[in-house]
Structure 1
Amino acid sequence: MQNACPECAGDLIVVEKAAPWCGRCEWNLDAFPPVDGGWAARAVARLDRRAGFRAGRALAARGENEISRRVTKGFVVLVAVSVLLTAALLAAAGLGVWLIVTGRLLPPLLLGAALIGFAVMLRPRLGSLKHAVDGGWTLREDSPVSALVGRIADATGAPRPHVIVADLHWNASAAVVGLRRTRVLRLGVPLLLALDERIRSP
């Protein structure tokens, strides 16, 4: 295995089973390990990861002054579509219940059951806090990691997470779960140990 980047001759970073990448020029950073499943699942996962990588790189390239909380046209369209889809699911479930309650023949009963099943299958998945923290340790608000995350959030203008979870994976993720829309940040301990001492210190 080569130890130098073919683009800038910098040292390559190798983490567990991930493909080696360069921290200087980000060569091969968009390479992802293969996923299990058929060709369709692999194709969808590959396109999804590439789109996420491009979006993350574009966001990181923006200046701090370009990050805005204003309501955009895309956000309005997304909210409108979400409201329409939710209303359609509620209408399908209501119609299904009405057909089952009032119907005495087999076709209306089957149609009602199908509509209810359709609504249940496509219901919004809001996630749960219990599932989001499963397999990790919830950090206290006065912990050094929470203080570091707060400093980064204040410096970048990002909202602070309500819950910070640590685990043993070399990874990090963020999610908003539950009806109360709780912001959860999950951090791997290996990532925290890799931080420069100047970043970790207040």
Structure 2
Amino acid sequence: MDREAELDAVVEAFGRAWTDGAWDEYIALYADEVVFEFPSPPLTGRWTGAEAVEHRDRWRAMFETSRLTTTGENLRLHDGPWVVSCNRGEGILRGKPCTGLLTTVLHRVDARGRIVEYREFLGGLTEPVAQGVSDNSRLPRDAMHAPSTNPLSAPLSAAAPTAAPTPAAPARSGAATPWRR
């Protein structure tokens, strides 16, 4: 499998977790040593090692019964070991319908195809839930786009590039992913 296909397989597994509940398949892609970063309460922070696994598992438990019923990818970028996916969707979160979900997820994948770092930005799935709102379009603009209290400027790990991928990287835009419903 070529490198881009390997990175795409991670994004597709992530999508199946959200649309079909295939969380075991997605979580199995994680390496034993991982960095996990999440921008929104109650999991705001950046962790490594055993703490990262604990927080990733709490994140999974929070959303394991949630499903995206409609989703699409706005943009996918590949940059070395990183794949970035910007998505939109709607679905059921904690038993309530949610629309206008926006999220940007970064995965860093090692040479064995294992996820060694997870970062989520925008918090489209958690910010509204934390604020008791099930429709992002009803949130004030500053609530959806305000910087997180998490210092997202933390440097990437030594094995990663010094900056997140830029739009200059090869991109696939406007096409729906295979996991779109």
Q: Which has the higher contact order (CA 8 A, sep 6+)?
A: 2
Higher strand proportion: 2
Structure-2-length-normalised TM-score = 0.27
Asked which structure has the greater CA Rg, the reply is 1
Higher helix proportion: 1
